[in-house]
Amino acid sequence: MLKNTQHLLDIMARLRDPEQGCPWDLKQDFATLIPYLIEEAYEVVDAIERNDMDDLRAELGDLLLQVVFHAQLAKEGGLFDFEQVSAGICDKLIRRHPHVFADAVFETDAERQRAWEQAKDEERKAKAKPEEPASVLAGVAASLPALLECEKIQDRAARHGFDWPDTPPVFDKVMEELEEVREAWKSGDPHHIREEIGDLLLVVVNLARHLDVNPELALKESTKKFTRRFHYIERQVAASGRSLTDCDLYELDAFWHQAKQALKRKAD
């Protein structure tokens, strides 16, 4: 094992030592570490999006710590250790890349993708519990962000034939669901409104799939764009010696359109 990797494992073991370890680390378990695992993954993404390679190196280290921490907990419980985690992902990568590590030949990316998905399906079947009916949707983590979970579920269903053959009907379905939201709003039933909003979001994710757009990234980019424009509005209002609540919606909307033009020129 590499020197620094072993050093990290040794540090983690020391932090969890019942006699000489850190009280905070000793109190943790798999469940209590979940928020930190998620946070570190998002901080890696943030460093990539900012193109900050020094920060990326540091954030990858923080994420690796979470992997090592969970492996140490598992080792203490007699479940598995870091070496077994590493061995598992090595086996999986070799199994899913027969064109690299074996003699398989794929002529197109589509063939390679089908083989990849077939390997994943076989892995899911191998992990399925005997008492559970097999499902092509099995294995999608329910704790994923809602948009990502929705996209993965739809991808699975689509690969097994449950999907529109082309894009135009999806546009029609979006308009249909939007009208159903309007009707639900008129009804005043909060449960019905929430249900129809969910249906609308689901079909918008489907439209994104058909347009080869990642809905999670698209929404994140639009949120950042909204934030930049709103910051512009705040600066304009502050320059006039007022607060946002001193302005009516028409004036704020005018600033919004100014922001669109100003930020577009800046981007150009």
Burial degree of 202 (CB within 10 A; 0-12, 13-18, 19+): middle
Do the Cβ atoms of 55 and 47 come closer than 8 Å? Answer: yes
Task: Return the pLDDT at 111.
Answer: 83
156-91-113-152 Cα dihedral, nearest 10 degrees: 20
Task: Return the pLDDT at 130.
Answer: 65
State pTM to two decimals. 0.66
Per-residue DSSP letter, 246: G
The H or E element containing residue 64 is helix 53-76
Taking alpha carbons only, the member of 140, 143, 161 closest to residue 152 is 140
Task: Return the pLDDT at 128.
Answer: 66
Task: Return the pLDDT at 135.
Answer: 79
Q: Mean pLDDT per segment of 10 residues, for the chain of length 268 residues?
A: 89 96 96 92 91 96 97 97 96 90 87 81 71 74 86 90 94 97 96 96 96 91 93 93 92 92 77
d(CA 215, CA 261): 25
d(CA 198, CA 178): 11
SS3 114: helix
Burial degree of 126 (CB within 10 A; 0-12, 13-18, 19+): exposed
Please state, as a whole number, how many other Cβ atoms lie within 10 Å of the Cβ of residue 184: 20
Taking alpha carbons only, the member of 89, 90, 39 closest to residue 62 is 39
The H or E element containing residue 230 is helix 215-239
Task: Return the pLDDT at 11.
Answer: 97
d(CA 261, CA 229): 10
Task: Return the pLDDT at 94.
Answer: 92
Structure tokens at 83: 């070496």
Q: How many helical (H) and strand (E) elements, i.e. helices and strands, does the chain have?
A: 12, 0
DSSP 3-state percent helix, strand, coil across the chain (nearest 5): 75, 0, 25
